[in-house]
Structure 1
Amino acid sequence: MRIVVVGDVILDVDLSGDATRLSPDAPVPVVDVTGVKRRAGGAGLVARMLAGDGWPVTLVTVLADDDAGRQLEAALAGIRLVAGPSTFPTPVKTRVRAGTHPVVRFDQGCGRVPVPDVTPAMLRALEKAGAIIVADYGRGVAANPQLRELLARLAEEVPIVWDPHPAGAHPVPGVAVVTPNLAEAHKAAGSGGDKFVGSASADGAAEVAGILLDQWSSHAVLVTTGEHGATLLRQRDRMPRPIAAPRVEAGDPCGAGDRLAASLAVHLVAGRDLEDSAVLAVHEAANFLAAGGVASLPEPGVPAKRRHRTTEPLLLARSVRENGGTVVATGGCFDLLHAGHVRSLTAASELGDCLVVCLNSDASVHRLKGEQRPIMNQQDRAELLLALECVDAVMIFDEDTPEAALDRLRPDIWVKGDDYKGAKLPEAELVAGWGGRCMTVPYYPARSTTGLAEALRKVS
């Protein structure tokens, strides 16, 4: 399913080097530049992130016919680009870094410009979206009346994630979620955003989110609060949901908001609810910074260093099949991950080219295992599974059995523990229906979640 990113593009230039001395002209560091990297910024960065994750993505924007515009187009190689003309110079942001620490940023051509026109091709590209990210960087694309009219209509049909900008347009009514940072939220609400710039405080996030829900008429507002994570507020219940971020050491937060918006769209289009999507997106933004942020992004055409480029199960399965690979799936509750699980999952992964775990949801585990279970919620269980090298994707299902999930995924091999050996697997007939087969891997009866839970009760 294609994700469409619409908004303003910027040429980002990174000058990196070492600073070992002060200038004789003024008490400022001298950076000996050893590297120059030009990359797509703004909406272009969001599109590049999605493409790096393996998602079919279209970028809808306007481009100037100048040297910086041509460099931008080169930096977007491999991404489907639908661009109208811009009569104003391409905005360029140049960052100077000493080691991993930012020193200064120079902006060229980044001021306000008149709202650009949109082309019929730009509008048609939006109509084909499975999800939309509006990456507004204040250069007017998101303010175009025709575009806004179409987005307002599409908001009723597909999830729209709107990443706003203080100099940009207000989100159209009905979008799934708007993602301002705390300073942007306070400024948009008229409560004075300047004092919150660079603040690690989450002061007033819930209150300002409530103001913006009324002001923007979106389904939800997710206010990001730096190292504290984010606060989610939805129209349907108006109950603030704080989302903690994992603690990371990061010198430069550039790109974290773009990563958050991209991740939100991926999880929403995959069918997850907004709260689960927001939790995942906050963690993925933190992981992005921990891995080095924008400096860690691969050059255009260079794949990311990971076994597979997406963890969305249906897209992953399709990609593996298109490349002639074998899709393997297994299932279970995985409530308290233990050595037996890891051994069985590792064995299952060796049967093919990717392993998808069909995971019982919290409601499903509760019905199957009793009112004291699960011990860990579905999001934590999925996160732990994805941290394993042998697991490529997790597919959460609400039913008591995995049949419906299997019918959507249609793996080539369905794996169970060999405690089923000699018995007919419950899913065997279903899997055989699309030409798949069932296999067993070693089962370790001395290691079980129930045993762990009992042991924990004794020491608690």
Structure 2
Amino acid sequence: MDNSINEILNVLGNIRNKHVIVIGDILLDEYIYGMVNKVSTGIQIPIIDKEIVEYRLGGAANVAANVAGLCNHTTLIGRCAKDDSGNRVKQLCELYHVKLMDFESEKTVVKQRIYVDNQQVSRLDTNAFSKSVAKELKTVLSDYKVDVVIIADYLYGVVSQKVLDITTSFCKEKSVPIFYTSRDLGRFVIGGYPIVVANQKEWNLWNQSDDCPRAFITKGNEGISFLSKTKKAEKKASKKYSVNVSGAGDTVLAIISLLYGEKYISIDDLLLLANLAGELAVENKLTYVVRQFDLVDALYKHWINDDSINKIVDISLAQDIVSAWKQKKEKIVFTNGCYDLLHLGHIKSFQYSKKFGDKLVVAVNSDSSIKRLKGNGRPINNLEERVSTLAYLSMIDMVIYFEEDTAINVIKAIGPDTYVKGEEYKSKALLEAEYVKKVEYVPMIEGTSTTQLIKKIARAVEVDGQ
């Protein structure tokens, strides 16, 4: 990454205040899950018993939902019928905090995906082609404060040349970026102002791509490219198994539109974040809506996979990461110590501690803290050596260090679910205990304390000296 994770997280926090308008075709995705228990006797086809039905926003509505997952002011402009499917769209928009400005159409576009044993076996489409919203846009746009506009054309009629022209003119006048995606980039004259976002197939079919001043091209497992007259950049994606690619492009479009042009986000960082969001989308069975905590967690995983030393974080960053874990409903386990000479007892205690939750956070006393607690001869290993060693242990998810004599302030800051200490502390006053929900004790391994190890080394040196 070009910038530190702290700077990127700050930007993710700041974009919450953006005002975004999404214009385009509103779709409803319906997921039907069933089982085949018998075959029709007449025409010998499987009979699917419908068990579960789930609904998600699709098309421009899914783009808006993904935007709303990262910012607080999202407006969706399109057409939606006053039918059952249209009512579901309205309910889902409310659920995802999308302000819906819908104009009437005859029917709501619905994509029904039918799954048997988690395998999609067919798709049924209810298609409805509507008028564009050009007439309505003339009066609507001027009423809104806006930082970003997205036009998402799925070829159902809402977007027209006039819609594109009106929106581009408005955005130019306000110096607001406009992002444009279409299943057919060649159907309208795009001009030089909109930033195009397209998949590789759409891009290759567009005969005017050479004249496009700025574009993002998504390439599935191959990642994402950025092209402009002065810069080219590409970021490969991780090779991950795709459970469902439906709507992944909408997720990527939302990330690009929100982060492009941000002061502390380089193009490389932007491509990385868009790739991470796309990977999250294809891992989900249903159409996915990106959430900030998922993106923060994915970014941290990428960071520590790049180098485990990145597990060493300050309190501020620890709070952001732990908050994301908690929002993902993961249980946080916390332990602390000096870890001066790492030995089998420590390793066993970490392994034991991890059983009490999903994430293990280890806090380490600073050199000055150890001197106060253990005397001037300690620590044997300095802080950098001690935290670095811990960072490379796979069962540890995060390492923090503290200057105080106790870990109370760290515990207050991150609020772990479980605090773990060695069973020798059962008979001692554990000051940190009153600040946690639950305390667990790890069985000791006889003869494996750091103090005993130091004495053993001293005796060996004494014998060698004789």
Normalised by the length of structure 1, the TM-score is 0.58
Contact map agreement 2:222 2:237 (CA 8 A) in 1: yes
Say which of 201, 226, 233 aligns to 1:232. 226
Contact map agreement 2:243 2:283 (CA 8 A) in 1: no
Counterpart residue identity of residue 31, structure 1: I
Contact map agreement 1:133 1:162 (CA 8 A) in 2: yes
Aligned residue for 2:209?
Answer: 212
Contact map agreement 1:48 1:76 (CA 8 A) in 2: yes
Aligned residue for 1:445?
Answer: 384
Residues 149-199 of structure 1, C-alpha deviations (whole Å, 9 max, x = no match): 23244157233222212288536323463222222223333xxxxxxxxxx
SS in 2 for 1:135: strand
| 1:403-414 paired onto structure 2 within 5 Å | none
| 1:324-343 paired onto structure 2 within 5 Å | 337-338=307-308, 342-343=311-312
Aligned residue for 2:285?
Answer: 292
Q: CA, structure 1 residues 244+174, in 2 after alignment: closer, same or farther (shift >3 Å)?
A: same
Residues 361-402 of structure 1, C-alpha deviations (whole Å, 9 max, x = no match): xxxxxxxxxxxxxxxxxxxxxxxxxxx9799xxxxxxxxxxx
Instruction: Supply the RMSD in Å over aligned alpha carbons.
Output: 4.3
CA displacement at 1:246 relative to structure 2: 1.2
Aligned residue for 2:248?
Answer: 256
Aligned residue for 1:247?
Answer: 239
CA displacement at 1:284 relative to structure 2: 1.6
Residues 38-68 of structure 1, C-alpha deviations (whole Å, 9 max, x = no match): 2221111111122234543221222233332
Aligned residue for 1:281?
Answer: 274
| 1:61-460 paired onto structure 2 within 5 Å | 61-78=78-95, 79-110=97-128, 112-116=129-133, 117-120=135-138, 122-124=140-142, 128-143=145-160, 145=162, 148-155=165-172, 157-166=175-184, 169-170=187-188, 172-175=190-193, 177-189=195-207, 211-214=208-211, 217=212, 219-237=213-231, 239=232, 241-268=233-260, 270-271=262-263, 272-294=265-287, 308=293, 311=296, 337-338=307-308, 342-345=311-314, 349=318, 444-446=383-385
Distance 1:254 1:334 in 2: 29
Distance 1:260 1:180 in 2: 10
Distance 1:350 1:84 in 2: 40
CA displacement at 1:107 relative to structure 2: 1.3
Contact map agreement 1:213 1:221 (CA 8 A) in 2: no
Q: CA, structure 1 residues 64+35, in 2 after alignment: closer, same or farther (shift >3 Å)?
A: same
Counterpart residue identity of residue 212, structure 1: S
Contact map agreement 1:16 1:34 (CA 8 A) in 2: yes
- Greater helix share, structure number: 2
Counterpart residue identity of residue 54, structure 2: K
SS in 1 for 2:198: coil
Contact map agreement 1:162 1:171 (CA 8 A) in 2: no
Q: CA, structure 1 residues 270+107, in 2 after alignment: closer, same or farther (shift >3 Å)?
A: same
Counterpart residue identity of residue 252, structure 1: N
CA displacement at 1:87 relative to structure 2: 3.7
Contact map agreement 1:159 1:176 (CA 8 A) in 2: yes
CA displacement at 1:113 relative to structure 2: 3.7
Contact map agreement 1:13 1:93 (CA 8 A) in 2: yes
CA displacement at 1:27 relative to structure 2: 5.8
CA displacement at 1:118 relative to structure 2: 1.7
Contact map agreement 1:346 1:390 (CA 8 A) in 2: no
Counterpart residue identity of residue 287, structure 1: L
CA displacement at 1:248 relative to structure 2: 1.5
SS in 2 for 1:249: coil
Q: Which has more radius of gyration?
A: 2
SS in 2 for 1:142: coil
SS in 1 for 2:159: helix
Residues 411-452 of structure 1, C-alpha deviations (whole Å, 9 max, x = no match): xxxxxx96899xxxxxxxxxxxxxxxxxxxxx8221588xx9
Counterpart residue identity of residue 104, structure 2: S
Residues 205-264 of structure 1, C-alpha deviations (whole Å, 9 max, x = no match): xxxxxx4141xx3x3222222222233322224x4x443221111232101110110111
Distance 1:25 1:285 in 2: 44
Q: CA, structure 1 residues 186+334, in 2 after alignment: closer, same or farther (shift >3 Å)?
A: closer
SS in 1 for 2:260: helix
Point out where structure 1 has 5 or more consecutive residues left out of the alignment.
190-210, 299-303, 313-332, 356-387, 392-416, 422-442, 453-460
Aligned residue for 2:420?
Answer: none
Say which of 20, 28, 37 aligns to 1:11. 28
Contact map agreement 2:79 2:105 (CA 8 A) in 1: no
Contact map agreement 1:349 1:390 (CA 8 A) in 2: no
Aligned residue for 1:363?
Answer: none
Q: CA, structure 1 residues 80+232, in 2 after alignment: closer, same or farther (shift >3 Å)?
A: closer
Counterpart residue identity of residue 342, structure 1: K
Distance 1:24 1:72 in 2: 38
Contact map agreement 1:221 1:232 (CA 8 A) in 2: yes
CA displacement at 1:267 relative to structure 2: 2.0
